[in-house]
Structure 1
Amino acid sequence: MSSRVIDTSASASALDLKLYSVLREFNVYELNRLSKFVNSSYFNKNERLVRLFEQYESIIRNGAASTLTRGQAWSSATLDTTYNDQKFRKLCSDLLRLIEQFLVQEQFEKNPLHKADYLIQAINEKKLDALTTSSVRTARRLSDQYFFRPASYYYYQYAFERGIYGMNELEIDRSKVMNVEQIAQNLDTFYLAEKMRYYCYALVRQPLVDHEYDFLLMDEIISHIAKMGYDEIVPINFYYQIYLTQKEPENTVHYTRLKSLIHDYIDQLPNIEAKEVMDAAFNFCIRQINNGNKLYVKELFELYKESLRNELIYVNGILDPWNFRNIIVSGLRLGEYTWIDRFIHDYQDRIDIKHRSNAVSFNKANLYFYQKKYDQVMQLLQEVEYEDPSYNLNSKAMLIATYYELDEVEPLLSLLSSFAVYLRRGKSIPQQRKSHYQNLVRFVRMLVRTPIGDKAALKKLRKKVTDVEGMVNKSWLLDKIDELL
């Protein structure tokens, strides 16, 4: 005999729905604007959505209720005491669609170039000849108000000129010179800048992934930019210099030029694109450091401090955990222990909550390692969750160094063996990165097995370590060999 399933959905919480989780992300100013939007009869004619929104808004603003059941939310929104779960979910879905519409409107309002484009489109569509002159003037004014000069700026200039072309096509005078050159020039500039942007991203990312990026016509594009210059086009100028730093890293003139561009023009890029440029500069310095050029440790550290001051290192106010780590590593290599300790304390809350615990534990362990507080290193590494392969790899490398410093030979050899197996089986680890850790395992094992006092063997090992391309903790291992020579 089957038991009857009682429908309890009316008593279920209304605060575990996607609608509530979305609304909680809005700050007070955004809630104010959203409230006006939801209450606007132009955008919303459904009073039920207004009442449903007001319940959630009250809870978020004032903590008016610690609980809200779906039945309560339904009856307040619909004035109907008989709960219908299917209809309630539909109501929540409709409110979410309205919120999405609000987000679209918010983005539209942020960018005057959108307005300029759509104004011209509307004039053309309605054939409002009386507004043509004033609308073109307004569109140009809106365009001039836009301070930033990313690739998208030239797309909107292309769209604007295309709209002007549409207006001119209606004229009878066929002898008039049309603006097709301006259309083509802006389209070309947008294409070149955007293509270079993503090509540079691929170049920077290539060593980290097992994937060969393929971009159409890049040789022709690079050749064209080199020939034409484009010095006055900020995004193309930036991305071409990034390309040169990636392709010719031994020529430091390219980096000097990139740094000069950053100083003079970085404020002309929106935050996300400015951060991409800064990341490319960081990447160049890191590559130089990894190749043994220690002068770039100071360079990298100063770049990071500058990006913290002007907030170009953040994305939507969030500090990437790997930039957090790299700032700390560069500071530690310079002996800036007090600054780093304060930095971890002051900036940890800028890391996304999902990554914060791991980032803080791992990087505090790194600080303690440099301060030779090895017992605290091992304690903190136990707090790091190894679901992220990067933390697993970096923690293992730090633990290898810690065991060596503590002269814990048996645990060290055991770790080297298990880590070697992990690397060999780790199919998701890019091959180049894997080899960097495999070199660490191989050479630490050789050092441990080298007889004490065998200076000839140590010198031979030192040369091998020096000559190897790509190795984690290379400077540390060379220091350990030197201590024995």
Structure 2
Amino acid sequence: MRSTKFYQIISELNPTDLNRFEKFLQSPYFNINPINTELFKICQDLHKSAKAEYTKLDSWNLIKPKEEYDDVKFRKYLSELLKLLLKFFSIEELENRPILASQLLLELTNKKKIPKLINTAIQNSQNSSSKYINRSSDFYLYHFQIEKNLFYLSESNLEAYSKKNIEDIAENLDKFYIAEKLKYYCEILGREVLSNIQYNFNFINELLLFVEEHKFYDDLIIRIYYLIYKTLSEPIEKDNYHELKALIFKNYRFFEGVELQELFAAILTYAIGQINLGNEEFHDEMIDIYDFIFENGILISENYMTPVKFKNVLTTSLRAGNYDFAENFIKEYKDLLPASQKESIVTFSLAQIYFYKKDFLSVITQLQRVEYPDMVTNRRAKTIYLATLLELNEYDAILSWSESFRVFLNRKKKDVPEAKINTYQNFITIVRLIALAELSGDKSYLKIEKELQKYSGNIVNEQWLKEKLLERKKK
């Protein structure tokens, strides 16, 4: 049963979600088949205890004790339960978005044309709109939809209403388009840095000229995404970053969910980029941003945290030498990670902390605890393992183990951009050269330094390698 799609989905849900879905199944309006409830209880038992186990046959005997097992029927029952789960998700989301519900009510009103319903629906939409504080691009989309429906509901009073109404429809649609176009253009710029993929994005030059001409200072989300674009396209100009950071800090309550986290990710990404360029003052910027995030509970607003954000927090705090913060962060926020990745991410994060604290034997022990299914974490774990062998002067082990690392990278060339693979291959080359120099007694570190210079900007852990060479030259 644990291998079924239904169970794999609910295994990622928290107890509150599961309890609400159980109540959903108990409602005869949504569910009239008691088998669905019984099947869900079996899955709940599996969710509550790692030791519990039910095969499909076990489950069938519980829900259909007098019938012979029928795999086709059983899969049909699971499929029906999965459909109910998807409907539950949709209803839950609608409950949390009253402005969308009011928009759908207006659409229904347009279809039904019930006179007494029209005023009620209009008033409902106005109330929802006034209470809707989110200022993402959806703000303009919802108001476009509402104004569009109000236009058709007000056909009897066209002279008094239609001119302003049509202008509002057009304005909201324009602003939604501009905000979304900027948002995804920023996404493209970020991805092009990490890959060789080139994207075709129509009308972006014309749109950027339009935004630059009109500024949109009063349209928060457009201004924010325009500034994100500027930080990506003109990273040397720091004023755009500081304006963007100030806007996000001041207005973060007007955003929510994934978008809120992405806005903070934009300023964090810029700060990381500046640190990588050697601008050390941005270490303080990073700590300032994370302090603000934690003080305002921004990372836990949706009861989850993406692995990328979790890793960025750890990396930043370790670079700043704040090891206690890193350890406390893991303890406090590890349960917000996806359940399927939590163990490997936490294990790797602890290994990072031990490495920075120079507890190298603990690094080895920690990295050997689990497999790393995530490709990025797997590469980083192997890199830290190789670095740890160098710290421990295990030169023979470096020569044998680095070859298996090379083989691993070569197998992944279809899945990972070649440029990214090369940064790890170059790291292996330099570490092996150091090991060979130590084993042979020919400690020509100047030659290795020149080799490292050839890879400058195209090798992982470049600064750390420079430090290791400098240490050996001083001996």
* Fold agreement, TM-score > 0.5: yes
Counterpart residue identity of residue 74, structure 1: K
Separation in structure 2 between the aligned mates of residue 461 and residue 31 of structure 1, nearest angstrom: 57
Q: 1:17: how far off?
A: 5.5
> Which of 121, 132, 145 is the equivalent residue of 1:146?
132
Alignment partner, residue 416 of structure 2: 429
> Which of 396, 402, 420 is the equivalent residue of 2:382?
396
Alignment partner, residue 71 of structure 1: 61
Alignment partner, residue 252 of structure 2: 266
**Counterparts in 2 of 1:101 and 1:207: CA distance versus 1, 3 Å:** same
Question: Which one is further off, 200-209 or 161-170?
Answer: 200-209
Question: Which one is further off, 135-144 or 21-30?
Answer: 21-30
Separation in structure 2 between the aligned mates of residue 96 and residue 364 of structure 1, nearest angstrom: 37
Q: 1:276: how far off?
A: 1.0
Q: 1:247: how far off?
A: 0.8
**2:456 matched to 1:468?**
yes
Alignment partner, residue 114 of structure 1: 100
Q: 1:25: how far off?
A: 6.0
**2:208 matched to 1:218?**
no
Between the two proteins, the alignment pairs up a number of residues equal to 462
TM-score, with length taken from structure 1: 0.83
**Counterparts in 2 of 1:28 and 1:394: CA distance versus 1, 3 Å:** closer
Alignment partner, residue 440 of structure 1: 427
Asked if the contact 2:60–2:69 (Cα under 8 Å) also holds between the matched residues in 1, the reply is: no
Alignment partner, residue 10 of structure 1: none
Asked if the contact 2:134–2:254 (Cα under 8 Å) also holds between the matched residues in 1, the reply is: yes
Q: 1:442: how far off?
A: 4.0
Superposed, which structure 2 residues align to 1:188-337 within 5 Å?
A: 188-313=174-299, 316-337=302-323
**2:346 matched to 1:356?**
no
**Counterparts in 2 of 1:60 and 1:254: CA distance versus 1, 3 Å:** same
Q: 1:187: how far off?
A: 0.8
Alignment partner, residue 6 of structure 1: none
> Which of 456, 469, 473 is the equivalent residue of 1:481?
469
**Counterparts in 2 of 1:82 and 1:189: CA distance versus 1, 3 Å:** same
Counterpart residue identity of residue 365, structure 2: Q
**Counterparts in 2 of 1:154 and 1:447: CA distance versus 1, 3 Å:** same
**Counterparts in 2 of 1:146 and 1:399: CA distance versus 1, 3 Å:** same
Write the deviation string for residues 10-32 of structure 1: whole angstroms up to 9, x where unpaired. Answer: xxx7x876556656666565556
Asked if the contact 1:207–1:432 (Cα under 8 Å) also holds between the matched residues in 2, the reply is: no
Asked if the contact 2:151–2:162 (Cα under 8 Å) also holds between the matched residues in 1, the reply is: no
**Counterparts in 2 of 1:176 and 1:475: CA distance versus 1, 3 Å:** closer
**Counterparts in 2 of 1:176 and 1:203: CA distance versus 1, 3 Å:** closer
Structure having the higher Rg: 1
Separation in structure 2 between the aligned mates of residue 191 and residue 473 of structure 1, nearest angstrom: 41
Write the deviation string for residues 430-452 of structure 1: whole angstroms up to 9, x where unpaired. Answer: 13322322342344455554987
Structure 1: gaps spanning 5 or more residues: 1-12, 76-80
TM-score, with length taken from structure 2: 0.84
Separation in structure 2 between the aligned mates of residue 381 and residue 37 of structure 1, nearest angstrom: 43
Write the deviation string for residues 278-311 of structure 1: whole angstroms up to 9, x where unpaired. Answer: 1222211222222222222332233234323434
**2:80 matched to 1:94?**
yes
Which SS does the other structure have where 2:163 is aligned? coil
Asked if the contact 1:384–1:391 (Cα under 8 Å) also holds between the matched residues in 2, the reply is: no
Separation in structure 2 between the aligned mates of residue 298 and residue 150 of structure 1, nearest angstrom: 29
Write the deviation string for residues 169-194 of structure 1: whole angstroms up to 9, x where unpaired. Answer: 34475996352111111111111111
Separation in structure 1 between the aligned mates of residue 444 and residue 104 of structure 2, nearest angstrom: 77
Separation in structure 2 between the aligned mates of residue 87 and residue 368 of structure 1, nearest angstrom: 53
Question: Which one is further off, 106-115 or 302-311?
Answer: 302-311
**Counterparts in 2 of 1:42 and 1:394: CA distance versus 1, 3 Å:** closer
Write the deviation string for residues 222-256 of structure 1: whole angstroms up to 9, x where unpaired. Answer: 22111111222222222111111111111111211
Separation in structure 2 between the aligned mates of residue 458 and residue 24 of structure 1, nearest angstrom: 50
Counterpart residue identity of residue 419, structure 2: Q
Structure 2: gaps spanning 5 or more residues: none
Counterpart residue identity of residue 314, structure 2: I
Question: Which one is further off, 105-114 or 337-346?
Answer: 337-346
User: RMSD of the TM alignment (CA)?
Assistant: 3.5
**Counterparts in 2 of 1:143 and 1:411: CA distance versus 1, 3 Å:** same
**Counterparts in 2 of 1:106 and 1:347: CA distance versus 1, 3 Å:** closer
> Which of 337, 350, 366 is the equivalent residue of 2:352?
366
Asked if the contact 1:207–1:433 (Cα under 8 Å) also holds between the matched residues in 2, the reply is: no
Counterpart residue identity of residue 320, structure 1: T
Write the deviation string for residues 385-421 of structure 1: whole angstroms up to 9, x where unpaired. Answer: 2443323321232233222222233333444455445
Alignment partner, residue 9 of structure 1: none
Question: Which one is further off, 360-369 or 250-259?
Answer: 360-369
> Which of 173, 180, 194 is the equivalent residue of 2:166?
180
Q: 1:277: how far off?
A: 1.2
Counterpart residue identity of residue 169, structure 2: I
Question: Which one is further off, 301-310 or 65-74?
Answer: 65-74
Separation in structure 1 between the aligned mates of residue 13 and residue 347 of structure 2, nearest angstrom: 30
Separation in structure 1 between the aligned mates of residue 173 and residue 251 of structure 2, nearest angstrom: 22
Q: 1:134: how far off?
A: 4.0
**Identity percentage over the alignment?**
30
Separation in structure 2 between the aligned mates of residue 468 and residue 277 of structure 1, nearest angstrom: 31
**Counterparts in 2 of 1:122 and 1:478: CA distance versus 1, 3 Å:** same
Which SS does the other structure have where 1:148 is aligned? coil
**Counterparts in 2 of 1:172 and 1:346: CA distance versus 1, 3 Å:** closer
> Which of 111, 127, 133 is the equivalent residue of 1:125?
111
